[in-house]
Amino acid sequence: MTSRATRFVIAVVVLVATAWAIGGPRSGAAPQQSNPKSCAPARAAQPGTTERTLQQGDLQRRYLVTVPERYDGRKPAPVVLNLHGFSGNGEAQNASTDMPQLAGQRGYVVVAPEGGPLKVPIGLVPGAENAGSFQGMPFWNLFGPGQVDFGPPRGSNLGVDSSLIGADDVGFVGQLLDTIEQELCIDTRRVYAAGMSNGAGMATMLGCAVGNRFAAVAAVSGVNLTGKCPGRGRISVVAVPGDADNTAV
């Protein structure tokens, strides 16, 4: 998908999310946290993009936060997580989607976090040695916590724990949202996740694993690859595939 097409898709996602939030949650939507009409005292922040980190276990997790011009620290602002593809980073994802400008014009806080390092499970998964050159690259662990079954010839009884593949990114996002909601005046009923490729798979995993914290998720050129969703609530999803995409189908 070209950068122009990606910008168009993200713009549509933001518009749909805005319209959905104004109209209120539909019947069966995931329950959201209580939310104040205003923040007192105000949680002031300068507009613009800043780089931040938080500690998650032994990892320093990096993320970018863009505060829009319209943010006043009193009126709760919606949030969009902008999730990069495999081996990407926050700057590149923001640049390719133009999310800070497009969402910022509507008053959204944009957070572009970065995935943890990929752990190639050599010796545990057949063929993993062929991916050794990808070791340590930024990767969203879209498998979520628990066992991952890579299928034959290992079989379902010989799954690999997802911690041997990547970081606990579901836990990281939860910690990240806690941090953002403490620092800024956030509308917790209007928190969204949008991702590209590997980030798309992570967005849908978040909808499965912690859907009660998201109003909707959007997946561009990727879906959840685990084949299962443990969550029982409902969440709005926008999925944008392409039949010319021979990488993520």
Residue 91 falls inside a structural domain = yes
Q: Which SS3 state, helix, strand or coil, does residue 211 take?
A: helix
Q: Considering the entire predicted model, what is its pTM?
A: 0.82
Specify if 245 maps to a domain. Answer: no
Give the model's pLDDT for residue 228.
66
Q: Would 246 be classed as within a structural domain? A: no
Cα–Cα distances (Å) from 25 to 18, 30, 174, 234, 241, in that order, read 11, 9, 21, 11, 25
| DSSP-assigned letter for residue 3 | H
Alpha-helix runs per DSSP H in the chain: 3-23, 90-97, 99-104, 169-183, 198-209
Residue 232 in domain:
yes
CATH of residue 78's domain is 3.40.50
What's residue 139's pLDDT? 95
Give the CA dihedral 241, 195, 185, 53, nearest 10 degrees: 180
Number of domains in the chain: 1
Q: Take residue 166 and report the two structure tokens written for it.
A: 């990547």
Classify residue 248: in a domain, yes or no.
no
Q: What is the pLDDT of residue 229?
A: 74
Kindly list the averaged pLDDT for each block of 10 residues, start to end, along the chain of length 249: 41 37 34 69 96 95 97 96 96 96 95 95 79 91 82 58 92 97 96 94 90 92 70 80 70
Structure tokens belonging to residue 220 = 């561009």
Classify 71 in phi/psi space as left (phi over 0), alpha (psi -120 to 50) or beta: beta
**Containing structural domain, residue 222:** 3-32+40-240
